[in-house]
Amino acid sequence: MTRQPGSGSADNLRHWPGLIAVSCLLLAGAGCAARWDEMLSRERDWSYITGFGKPDPLVVIRDNPSGDRKAQALCELREPLKHGGDAQKQDIYLKVLGETATKDPQPLCRLTAIRCLGNYKDPRAARVLEGVIEQQHHLFANQENNVMVRTEALVALEKIHDPDSKGRFIVIARGPGPTVVASLKDRYETQDERIVAIRALGKYREQDSRDALVHVLKTERDVALRDRALAALEESTGKKWPAQREAWQRQDVQPLPGESLIQRVTGLK
């Protein structure tokens, strides 16, 4: 049978729905955001765009001592014991992430490793993050990078919710505010760290964490810190508490009737 002129175009069009479906599957597998980042990257690699044939992240980290590709590989070091892996791989991943989080010369790679550790439930990840917070060596020349790394480590530590990290959050939450002569930048840095610590204490149910939150409500004048402490106390106790600073100057502060903000949002009793 003789093909009519133009029928080839029609045949091609009939294939488009299938091609679109395959493209959608590739996008879903690789992740749209990551796919576009890769396509726009100077290091464009089709194995990353399609998700097929991607190299082992440990090999990428070994062969790329710095740069975006190393940070991308660090993101893929998901906790093995939570994803069907074994204890040996768990040890290797923690070692790589720990060394990167504390020693890598690139802020991007260090921050990526810290965020990845925040998704681990292994207590060793919490210990690494605590080491980052206390770190005195391998610091960046730019102080802003050091502050960013420390704050990110606190956020990751909050996410892990390790019981042994509670004391650190209590110390930071109860800590003094910036000095009178501190710059505005230093004030914001101190406040950011205390806000993270206060928020983290809301996830603990022990009395010492609640006492730290009450201390903030009794002594702190900063509205942002007080609001965060109130929300954390309501999350910890499941009760509604007075917001006015004057109410917390009394010795016998009692919870208020009605649902707390957390209960209203989550529906929990």
> What percentage of residues in the chain have a pLDDT greater than 90?
64
How far is C-alpha 228 from the chain's CA centre? 18
* Residue spans of the chain under pLDDT 50: 1-13, 16, 19-36, 38-40, 46
User: DSSP secondary-structure letter at 240?
Assistant: B
pLDDT at 119: 98
- Residue 230 tokens, joined: 């109130």
pLDDT at 29: 44
pLDDT at 157: 98
Each residue's pLDDT tens digit, 225-258: 999 999 999 999 999 999 999 999 998 899 998 7
Tracing tokens 């050091």 back to the chain, one arrives at 146
pLDDT at 69: 85
pLDDT at 137: 87
Confidence (pTM): 0.76
